[in-house]
Amino acid sequence: MAAPTVLAFLPLPLLLLAAFSSASASAHPNSFRPIVPLRLQALLQQQQRRRASSDAKLVSAAADGTNSTAQPFTTHYFPQELDHFTFTPNASMLFRQKYLVNDTFWRRPRRGGGGGAGPLFVYTGNEGDIEWFATNTGFMFDIAPKFGALLVFIEHRFYGESLPFGDDSYSSAETEGYLTSTQALADFAILITGLKRNLSAETAPVVVFGGSYGGMLASWFRLKYPHVAIGALASSAPILQFDHITPWNSFSDAVSQDYKSESLNCFSVIKAAWDVLDERGSTDTGLLELSKLFRACKSVKHADSIAGWLQTAFTYTAMVDYPTPANFLMDLPAYPVKEMCKIIDGFPAGADILEKVFAAANLYYNYTGDQACNQIESDSDDSSSSLGLSGWGWQACTEMIMPMSTSNASMFPPSSFSYEDTSNACFQSTGVRPRPHWITTEYGGYRIDKVLKRFGSNIIFSNGMRDPWSRGGVLKNISSSIVALVTEKGEHGNLRRKKKKKKKNVRSLWHFSLFTYVQLLAIAFVVRGASSGPQIRDR
């Protein structure tokens, strides 16, 4: 969502145009760019690695977050209408919307009456191809047998293969204009209703699941279509990251706190690195030396490119600070923030501060050691043309306006946010101006505790406080059925499969963590209307 950078400075050109900021290429921007969603960041990193190494291979994540074989599913396509809210000539145009189904555990409806069917657990697709989300949402596969549930993963319009205008889907604002969250929610409602009818399972309850943007959609779907879904589990869903509901500096402060909690020295080193980087990168000679120090594939032209490269590493590592090794985004060890700080703290007194931060960031970019160099600056004609990135760029320039800034307390350079600058930049790059307050108008957000307590029900908001996005999420119970499950050391997107313990004498069926079991109980309450959940039986 920034241009030509992903996160904050010039490097990693990927989301929109430089239009997203009023900053120049030669100085620190005065605005904090929006963060690229994890799926798109994963695509970006794969593209960067391919360019940096000719024999780099794509890493495919499986349902348990490893390279093992993913749970099976079948691929289907639904004839979806282009526009659900108007009766213009193009409104009834159809496109093929992709969805995946796993019926391994489904309790099918009884013959004749159609009753007795198991529930449908439906994943509301995010900003990317649906297979990626299906193979990284192992929690749904874990709990499906306990409920006899049918698993359905629906791809979001304008992503993956669900392109209403094919390769021309991003050709102009006239085609991209059909990419909105409200259209996506209507897609989900129509597809779910049609699927239940075709399966003779009209009475089967539906629970929607989602993580990150998908979690936002899941919670909004429950509010907008309560007659279609009786409950929702929204994981790491920053539905309060709009307008002035959440402090604009909360995201960067949360990232900083993750590092500070591991080591005050680690935090201080990173905080001090930006001025040193600016000073050394102020001359051509300095830039050449920095290019060598950071092992750039090509000589770096701007010090801000390196700054953005570093900030990307520190920010996304905080977002995927999983307690086990994972390749969800990059190949990383368990607790990668802790490991980064160990690297910084392990340097002897008097060591070059930039050597410290480079070594730490290298854990994110090259933990496996297979990258000969780092792709810090990219050509202007690279992956910014990616359809997925174009899609989120459009959404970030129309309705998904999440203001972000950086305070003096952060380990990142201070920055601000301007609605006016964002509007002008978006108009320059897309030809349309954003509606920065539309999300709160359409879905609410202000005084959410009082509003939802009066009419909402059956929504589970789960957040891990190590996740920077958690600050924009629902962190307190709203009612007896709108609950917030919060773990102090939890990370972003906790719908991943819980790994089995390796001890031979462990008898529990899945070895669920307490947090996951609480989720299971909450979902049981929604599906069965009972106060007690399914029993986890020992073998």
Catalytic center residues:
212, 467, 492
Q: Are 507 and 538 in contact (CB under 8 A)?
A: yes
Q: Which strands form 150-154's sheet, in the order they lie side by side?
A: 74-81, 94-102, 150-154, 120-124, 206-211, 231-235, 459-464, 482-487
Side-chain-facing half-sphere of 189: CA atoms under 13 Å: 18
Tokens of 512: 């669920």
Q: Which residues pair with 88 in a beta bridge?
A: none
User: Cα dihedral angle (209, 215, 218, 223), rounded to 10 degrees?
Assistant: 140
Phi and psi at residue 43, to the nearest 5°: -60, -45
Contact present, 496 and 137 (Cβ < 8 Å): yes
Nearest to 131 by CA among 68, 63, 47, 211: 63
Q: At what angle do helices 303-319 and 284-293 cross, to 10 degrees?
A: 30
Nearest to 464 by CA among 500, 526, 513, 535: 513
Please return the burial class of 438, using the count of CB atoms within 10 Å of its CB with bins 0-12, 13-18 and 19+: middle
Mode of pairing for the β-strands spanning 482-487 and 459-464: parallel
CB 218 within 8 A of CB 234: yes
226 secondary structure, DSSP code: T
The string of DSSP codes covering 440-500 is HHHH-BTBHHHHHHHH---EEEEEETTSGGGGGS--S--SSSEEEEEETT--S---SPPPP
Helix (H/G/I), strand (E/B), else coil: 121? strand
> 194, 20 in Cβ contact below 8 A?
no
Q: Would you say 460 and 483 are in contact if contact means Cβ atoms under 8 Å apart?
A: yes
**Cβ–Cβ under 8 Å, residues 317 and 71:** no
Give which of 252, 296, 249, 285 is closest to 270, Cα–Cα: 252
